[in-house]
Amino acid sequence: MATSRALEQGYFTVPADGDGPPRLLGSYSPTADLHFFPRRRRCPVSQEAVVDVELSPEGVLYSWTFVVSPWMGKNRMGDLEGHGVGQVDLPEGVRVQTVLGGDMGDWEIGMPVALELYPVMQDEEGTDLLTFRFAPLAAAGAA
């Protein structure tokens, strides 16, 4: 059985099987009544201390685009290899810049999306190193 962990700690949870969906780790300012992602030490509005919180695992796609870029000096513009990126609004009022799961044509502004984790590489012990993205709600979890 393959093991996995976050590529970089402190941005999201990696739940064990059956422990619910992953969640982004954010901050809440009780003084300003505002949430933030990524986590902060102080509220940028009130300058008061914040509380660490887990943010909602679902949101609404605010905007998206498709990014095509050369990989290791090779131009792949002809076959449209790339990925989606977008902005997702969470119920807490946070807008997250994120990679999108799926293919061009899978996303529509205003659609519900869900947080999912996916491996980007393996370490020397063979552990999958995970990062996050949002995918259309119906497709999330299927990845």
pTM: 0.85
pLDDT at 94: 97
Would the pLDDT of 113 be above 50? yes
Q: What angle do CA 123, 136, 104 make, to 5 degrees?
A: 85
CA distances, 15 to each of 22, 24, 40, 78, 130 (Å): 6, 11, 22, 39, 12
pLDDT band at 141 (very low <50, low <70, confident <90, very high): low
Would the pLDDT of 1 be above 50? no
Which residue is associated with the tokens 């992953």? 22
Give the whole-number percent of the chain exceeding pLDDT 90: 71
- How many angstroms separate the most distant Cα atoms in the chain? 51
Would the pLDDT of 82 be above 60? yes
Q: What is the mean pLDDT of the chain?
A: 89
